[in-house]
Structure 1
Amino acid sequence: MVHTKYLPNKSLHRMAKTLRIFTAGELKSLSIKTMDYVRIKNNEELPDISKHKPFKCVVVIEQEIAPDWQVEVSNWLCSSGCMYMMAWGQDCSSWDDSVDQANIMQFQGEEIPDDSVVFTTWHEDEPLSEVFWFAKHTAHHESHDLKNTVVLHISVTEKSHQFKAEYANA
């Protein structure tokens, strides 16, 4: 309990009256959401991103890629803990299908449990800034609290600072 009669001014007095004590569960739900930038090139070895599990992933495709490598990346995303994938860029609609297929293959064609369904969207005619806004404010999973976002940039060009700034401003 905050004893407001001992506070030196009215502003502090008002702030103390609105002070709220949070439970551990409430604090956990208030924890900071993170964004990590990962750049890969066509046919490059895929890094371990499972530390972000469960996470949302914005796949930014700015390089032409081989279909078999797209399948490999889709499988890697699903096995690494991606629960919501948003694709933007070159041939982004194919990523919706390839990640859906990878999710189905994880369960060998059997019914996928609700907590294991990977949601997928593609954003063909939208600016990347709107995809970042969607990822940050709208994309959610019914079974997981997705605090971490991975921006997976498939490109020969590094844009870490640019994408981090755009995501922060979304």
Structure 2
Amino acid sequence: MKQPETAMHMREGPIDISLPIYRHVDPDGALRTLAARAPFRAVIVAEVPVTPAQQNRISDWLVAEGCLYAMAWGVAASSWDDAIDWANIAKFSGTAVPESGFVMTTWHDEETLSEVFDYAVRCAIHPTEALDELIVVHVAGSADPGRIQSAYRAVRPRDHKEHP
């Protein structure tokens, strides 16, 4: 019997590693409109514990803003997967979620943050929608874009085309 293929799909051609949009989110703070073109990919960098209500509120906001691929890293990373899934179901009022509206979710509790960014750049591909924007949602007590951008800069193109 032929085994199913398990190859990971990766982006083809030159990879754009320009800095993503950074958004600091205080778990109790206001959630402002994202300056992104929907649909988009999001890396949730969870550095503080959140209550289920806070997590649901942030997840609902991400899905409403147009997130179609969410990758979670940090504190309780696997719980973000479920929260995003429930937000996606709620967006369609419990009816069947169309493929074009399905939010892909992954959690990365064994990887470094740079490895998660590498995955986001190379492998986070939606089955039907182009996801050109990448947003980092930094769930933390205080903003630290420099440290997050430094981890992102560790992602290097693996093809032979060097970027100046």
**What range describes the TM-score normalised by the shorter chain of this pair?**
0.7 to 0.9
Q: Offset at 1:164?
A: 1.6
Contact (CA 8 Å) 1:50, 1:81: kept in 2 or not? no
Decide which structure has the larger Cα Rg and report it. Answer: 1
Q: Is the 8 A contact 1:92 1:122 kept in 2?
A: yes
More helix, by proportion = 1
Instruction: Normalising by structure 2, report the TM-score.
Output: 0.80
Percentage of matched positions with identical amino acids: 35
Match of 1:49 among 26, 31, 34: 34
The separation in 1 between residues aligned to 2:77 and 2:28, in whole angstroms, is 18
Q: Secondary structure at the match of 1:101?
A: helix
Q: 2:85 aligns with which of 89, 95, 100?
A: 100
**RMSD between superposed Cα atoms in Å:** 1.9
Give the 3-state SS of the residue equivalent to 2:130 in structure 1: coil
TM-score (norm 1): 0.78
Structure 1 residue runs of 4 or more that deviate by more than 2 Å after TM superposition: 29-34
After superposition, the C-alpha distances for 1:51-87 in whole angstroms (9 at most, x for unaligned) are 3311100001111112111111111000000000000
2:117 alignment partner in structure 1? 132
Q: What is the aligned counterpart of 2:46 among 21, 43, 61?
A: 61
Pairwise CA distance, 1:147 = 1.1
Q: Name the residue aligned to 1:109.
A: 94
| Gaps in structure 1 of 5+ consecutive residues | 1-28
Q: Which has the higher contact order (CA 8 A, sep 6+)?
A: 2
What is the deviation of 1:108? 1.3
Which amino acid in the other structure matches residue 80 of structure 1?
Answer: E
Give distance in 2, aligned partners of 1:143 and 1:40.
Answer: 29
Question: Where do 5+ consecutive residues of structure 2 fail to align?
Answer: 1-12, 156-164
Change (3 A) 1:54 1:83: same
Secondary structure of the residue aligned to 1:58 is strand
